[in-house]
Amino acid sequence: MPGTDKKYKRILLKLSGEALMGDEGFGIDPKVLDRMALEIGQLVGIGIQVGLVIGGGNLFRGASLQKAGLDRVTGDHMGMLATVMNALAMRDALERANIPSRVMSSIPMSGVVDHYDRRKAMRALERAEVVIFSAGTGNPFFTTDSAACLRGIEVEAELVLKATKVDGVYTADPVKDPSATKYDQLSYDEVLNKQLEVMDLTAIVLCRDHKMPLRIFEMEKQGALLNIVNGGDEGTLVVEL
């Protein structure tokens, strides 16, 4: 039976906010949410515990708001609140697909979502609930990539997965440089030394210091997630070499 030889028990999946907007220029495309819910449901169905971190780039980014004249910290607060909205939309899609889930926020938001609590999160994961960690790290000047690595390490996930628009880590940004070539595997230090900007450096350093394997893969590719948890070679693996 496909999926029975799964390699991981608990993973942390990071979805970029931009990916949620699908073909729209802003906001959330419910079709994308439904497809992601289905793919996440397949993992839950074969007994894999799934933590989720969702970005906010489809709504607000602190750095962009700063360029438009806002105070950076205010902009980062807006960005973190945007991730809570995305998390609520994802929970809604998971619920519609009958997949048990809960949202936790690094910023207390009583009456809307639970405040992040590591022990509660781990217990929920053990009960096969998808736990969506929202509001990033709760601090300005960080990104949701760092939040994903941080929460992944905290809840003892075995792998952090970054689902993004490109199908792995390249020698240069493949969107800007069509001659860039893809790595199948590379070390944390290679990503740092070569300044490969697929993920922010804080996130890479966190993973390196805690030996957390990281896989970057294409969100649009159907079945990629299931293939990865079954030990398949999608995208690029960043590990200690």
Ligand X SMILES: O=c1ccn([C@@H]2O[C@H](COP(=O)(O)OP(=O)(O)O)[C@@H](O)[C@H]2O)c(=O)[nH]1
Query: Nearest distance from residue 26's CB to ligand ADP, in Å?
Result: 14
Q: What values do phi and psi take at 57, rounded to 5?
A: -60, -15
- Distance of alpha carbon 200 from alpha carbon 145, whole angstroms: 7
SS3 62: helix
Q: Which residues, numbered 61-100, are part of the site for ligand X (CB under 6 A)?
A: 61-63, 75-76, 79-80, 82-83
The site map against ligand ADP for 193-232 (x = CB under 6 A) is ---xxx----------------------------------
Among 31, 118, 165, 221, binds ligand ADP (CB under 6 A): 165
Residue 83 counted as an annotated binding residue:
no
The site map against ligand X for 167-206 (x = CB under 6 A) is ----------------------------------------
Please say which residue, 116 or 183, places its beta carbon nearer to ligand ADP. Answer: 183
- Distance of alpha carbon 116 from alpha carbon 107, whole angstroms: 8
* 179 exposure class (CB count in 10 Å sphere: 0-12, 13-18, 19+): exposed
Please say which residue, 5 or 23, places its beta carbon nearer to ligand X. Answer: 23
DSSP 8-state symbol, 101: E
Please say which residue, 9 or 220, places its beta carbon nearer to ligand X. Answer: 220
Among the listed ranges 15-23, 117-125, 126-134, 224-232, the one in contact with ligand X (CB under 6 A) is: 15-23
Q: Which residues, numbered 18-47, are part of the site for ligand X (CB under 6 A)?
A: 18
- Distance of alpha carbon 150 from alpha carbon 12, whole angstroms: 10
Q: How many CB atoms lie within 10 A of CB 186?
A: 17
> Residues 195, 128: contact at Cβ < 8 Å?
no
* 227 exposure class (CB count in 10 Å sphere: 0-12, 13-18, 19+): middle
> Taking the CA atoms of the chain, what radius of gyration do you get in angstroms?
17
Contacts of 195 (CB under 8 A, 6+ apart): none
Which one-letter amino acid corresponds to residue 136?
G
Among the listed ranges 11-19, 111-119, 170-178, 185-193, the one in contact with ligand X (CB under 6 A) is: 11-19
Please say which residue, 9 or 114, places its beta carbon nearer to ligand X. Answer: 114
Closest Cα to residue 102, out of 115, 229, 110, 34? 115
* Binding partner of residue 88 among ligand X, ligand ADP, none, CB cut-off 5 to 8 Å per kind: none
Residue 173 as a binder of ligand ADP (CB under 6 A): the answer is: yes
Annotated binding site for UMP: 56, 76, 137-144
Q: What residue ranges bind ligand ADP (CB under 6 A)?
A: 16, 18, 55, 57, 164-166, 169-170, 172-175, 196-198
Annotated binding site: 14-17, 56-57, 61, 76, 137-144, 164, 170, 173
